[in-house]
Amino acid sequence: MSIFAKDALKGKHALVTGATGGIGSETAKLLAQMGADVTITGRRHEKLDKLAKEINEAEPHIKVFSYAADLGKEEDREKLVNAAEEALGPISLLVNNAGVLGGGPVDELEQAEMERIMHLNYTSTVLLTQLIYKTMKQRKDGAIVNVASLSGLRGTHGGTAYAASKFALIGFTHSMALEAIDHGIRVNAVCPGFVDTEMGRTSVQNKANHEQRSAAEVIKASIPSGRITTPKEVANTIAFLLTDAAENIVGESVKISGGSVLR
């Protein structure tokens, strides 16, 4: 379900990273439905092509620019931003959603794995944001949503690397929000619990393995609402934070967890 007006983001250019994944694809579709032109990115060409086609069919008046990039690479980040702005004009909405899961218990954690996760979830996100923020500042027009996690607010068993990267992303969100609001730019984060995507299903199964019970039992025991979140529900929250309806929401970390933070 979407509660948003068709023209809520008219005239905006939104860049959605991780658009080949569960949350990113739903977000790109919703922002297009709300009138934004969208740049979609990820590494998997065929998924990008499929999503671009889907948006074009559903929203023929919307411009979609699709660009495959590895966000861990400086050259790819620069080429992505240049190509997107050449195609659709200055980026005014940024959804930093690309992310990787991994790591493990601290005594098994290897440096390369720790750096892989931190590099994509934190460092590359900051560096991509820097490239886009320059123009947002000049134009005094921008809103940014970083897709963090409940793991950015509390620790999880086996989450030493992933949780650390998401805590870092939330620290970045809060600090940048203070700087950016001086230029009229809002920066916020969303913190989903388990979401029904490939990554989310892996997380539930990891917890189930650790607790030696079934995935269904984990969900029942840890989420008061009794179910995991849909990617669309995360997309709805991101979209809300990007609209003028959220004009005075600055530096927040919005939890979407079915109440699991209360347990």
Catalytic residue numbers read: 162
Q: What is d(CA 195, CA 234) in angstroms, rounded to the nearest whole number?
A: 8
At closest approach, how far in Å is the CB of 44 from ligand NAP? Answer: 4
Q: Compute the half-sphere exposure of residue 251: CA atoms within 13 Å on the CB side of its CA.
A: 12
47 or 186, CB closer to ligand NAP?
47
Strands (E), 24-138: 37-42, 64-68, 93-96
**3-state DSSP call for residue 105?**
coil
98 or 176, CB closer to ligand NAP?
98
Where does this chain bind ligand NAP (CB under 6 A)? 18, 20-24, 42-44, 47, 70-72, 97-100, 120, 147, 149, 192, 194-195, 197-200, 203
The dihedral through the CA atoms of 157, 160, 164, 165 has a sign that is negative
228 or 246, CB closer to ligand NAP?
228
| Residue of 230, 163, 194 whose CA lies nearest to 2 | 230
At closest approach, how far in Å is the CB of 124 from ligand NAP? Answer: 7
66 or 92, CB closer to ligand NAP?
66
Encode 196-217 in three state secondary structure.
CCHHHHHHHHHHHHHHCCCHHH
At closest approach, how far in Å is the CB of 35 from ligand NAP? Answer: 23
Phi/psi for 180 (5° steps) reads: -70, -30
At closest approach, how far in Å is the CB of 248 from ligand NAP? Answer: 25
